[in-house]
Amino acid sequence: MGSGARAHADLAAPLGRRLARLGVHLLTGGGRGVMASVSRAFAEVEGRAGLVIGILPHLEEDGGPASPPGYPNRWVELPIRTQLGKEGAEPDSRNHVNVLTSDVVVALPGSSGTASEVDLALSYGRPLILLGDLGRARNLPRPVATASTVDEVIAFVGRSLIDAGPPPSALEADPPPAAQQQQPEAHAPPPEGGAQQ
C-alpha cells in the first residue's frame, strides 16, 4: 500500500523484487505511484511464482463504469475490477478488499488513501508493517511494526506468514497416483446363511 502520486522507487522497487523472490503474490490498488513501482519490480523478476494482482476502483463515466486513468498499471497481471470507490475507509471503498485480501499489509509512504488502509489493517487485525516515513507510527492508536530497510520488511513478512500457518488447501494431501492407490480389501463371500463380519 502506498502513494498513488509518488513512486518512492528507492523503497518500492527493492521491496517488489524481494517479495517476488519470496514466492508470494503481490496485491496493490493497481494504480500509479508506489503501486506501479512495486508492481514493475515484482513483475520483472524472472522465474517468480506469484502474480501481480490489482484491486481496481470504479469510476462512472458517460459510457458506463470504468477504471480511472492509470488503472490498472501495465504490470498488473490479474486486475480485479470492483464497483467500489477509490480510497478511504467508507463501506464503499475498495480499501477494505485490499486489506482483507492481504495476508500481510506493507505500507509505504502515502497520503489519505494509504492512511485509511493502515487504519483498516489495524481494525481488521491484519499483520502490518510501515516502511519509510516512520513518524506516521506516532499518530496511530496503537503500536505497529516499523522498518527502515527492506530486509526488515521481508523478515516481518516471513514471520507473519509462518505465524498464520499454511493456507487450508496446503493442508489437504494430494491423492496418490492411480498406480499407488490402495485397492479395497478383498473379502471372502459370506458363508451361506451367515453374515460377514
How high is the pLDDT of residue 143?
92
How high is the pLDDT of residue 108?
97
Please provide residue 164's backbone torsions phi and psi, each rounded to the nearest 5 degrees. Answer: -75, -20
Give the 3-state secondary structure of residue 65.
strand
Is 62 a member of any domain?
yes
Contact 141, 122 (CB under 8 A): yes
Q: What is the pLDDT of residues 48-103, one digit of tens each?
A: 999 999 999 987 665 556 778 889 999 999 999 998 876 688 888 899 999 999 99
How high is the pLDDT of residue 65?
65
For residue 30, give the C-alpha cell.
Answer: 493497481
C-alpha distance from residue 64 to each of 67, 72, 78, 79, 127 (Å): 10, 17, 22, 18, 37
How high is the pLDDT of residue 119?
95
Is 92 a member of any domain?
yes
Is 60 a member of any domain?
yes
Question: How many domains does the chain fold into?
Answer: 1
C-alpha distance from residue 25 to each of 17, 46, 97, 162 (Å): 12, 14, 15, 15
How high is the pLDDT of residue 171?
41
Q: What is the CATH number of the domain that holds 146?
A: 3.40.50.450
The pTM of this model reads 0.81
CA distance 101 to 126: 10
Identify the segments of the chain with pLDDT beneath 70.
Answer: 60-65, 86-87, 166-197
Residue 184 is classified by DSSP as P
Is 189 a member of any domain?
no
Is 193 a member of any domain?
no
Is 174 a member of any domain?
no
How high is the pLDDT of residue 134?
86
Q: How far apart are the first and last CA of the chain?
A: 63
Is 144 a member of any domain?
yes
Residue numbers of the domain that contains 87: 9-165
Is 178 a member of any domain?
no
